[in-house]
Amino acid sequence: MMPDILINEVGPRDGLQSQHAAISLDGKLTLIRALIEAGIRSVEAGSFVSPKAVPQMADADQLYPQLPDTDRVQYSALVPNLRGLERAQAARVQEIAVVLSATNTMNKRNINLDLAQTVASCTATVKAARQLSMRAKAYVAVAFECPYEGRVSPDTVLMLAELMMDAGAQEIVIADTIGAANPAQVGPLLGTCIKRYGADRVSAHFHDTRGFALANVWASIEAGVRKFDTSVGGLGGCPFAPGAAGNVATEDVVLMAEQCGFRTGVDIARLREAIKSAELLVGYSLGGRTTRWLNTQFPAAGA
């Protein structure tokens, strides 16, 4: 079945990267298997970044060659530079994602380059990936608000997206990295992206810091977006820093989309098994906005 809405599960990367407890390679594989059992067919499984910057992702070189079901499931990996691309190639990754933050300071903090240098680095990385016959997508991060520079102009985001498309990116991901966007901003920006590039080449990434993530997903759906990054149980953020919330929960997006008549191919009952698997890894309870209601629908699993 071709889903109407494609769920790209980013829990194993965006969700796990900030966890304090060390998470084993086997634990990651168990979670990914549970997600596939639930019908997930697109997974961002890790990143090839500096192990000093993000220790939790240090095992990506070992993880990717062991990923299950590679004929049915599309796996992507985040790469910050050409060094990361080399590692991804060695691990037989077929799809990479570069991250271009929309502000100078955010790029400095994230990858130690200014905006112009980041554009140059992402352009080189996307071009090199395409030459290696890898699929390449580009995140435009902090696309609505930057924690250091405040509001971001939609024109800046559109300009950066265009640069990445020119470089050969096959998809852009508009990312509300800190969960500060509202639906009134999301609809017009995503609508413009859809008009320019079409639904196959645009996806959206929201965090739930202010509780608006699902509203932003809906505004995106109305604007024509059909691909979303989500994380199982809303995994992500830092449990010790309440300000930083995780991604929009996979189960919330699946439940809302299905109830609105869109097929996702994801089975909620089985997804709850994947949430349990993620809870075992991180050692605390997970779950999005729909958890309480879902518990009443699946009493045995929710008990």
- Nearest CA among 296, 297, 230 for reference residue 257: 230
Q: Which does 77 bind (CB under 5 to 8 A by kind): ligand COA, Zn ion, none?
A: none
81 binds, among ligand COA, Zn ion, none (CB under 5 to 8 A by kind): ligand COA
10 vs 67, beta carbon nearer Zn ion: 10
Query: Which residue among 112, 159, 222, 283 contacts ligand COA (CB under 6 A)?
Result: 112
Minimum Å distance from CB 249 to ligand COA? 20
State how far the Cα of 273 lies from the Cα of 301, in Å rounded to an integer: 8
Q: Which of 128, 138, 148 is nearest to 202 (CA)?
A: 138
Under 8 Å CB-to-CB from 103, ≥6 apart: which residues? 115, 142, 146, 148, 149, 152
- Binding residue for ligand COA (CB under 6 A) from 15, 39, 84, 187? 84
For helices 115-131 and 104-111, give the axis angle rounded to 10 degrees. Answer: 60
Minimum distance between the CB of residue 67 and ligand COA, rounded to whole angstroms?
Answer: 19
Residue 153 CB coordination number (10 Å) = 10
Instruction: Say if strands 150-151 and 145-146 run parallel, antiparallel, or are unpaired.
Output: antiparallel
**Nearest CB to ligand COA, comparing residues 177 and 185:** 177
Answer with the entry of ligand COA, Zn ion, none that 80 interacts with (C-beta below 5 to 8 A by kind).
Answer: ligand COA
Q: Are strands 171-176 and 135-141 parallel, antiparallel or unpaired?
A: parallel
Position 54 contacts ligand COA (CB under 6 A): yes
Smallest distance from ligand COA to CB 84, Å: 3
Binding site residues, ligand COA, CB under 6 A: 47-50, 53-54, 78, 80-81, 83-84, 87, 99, 110-112
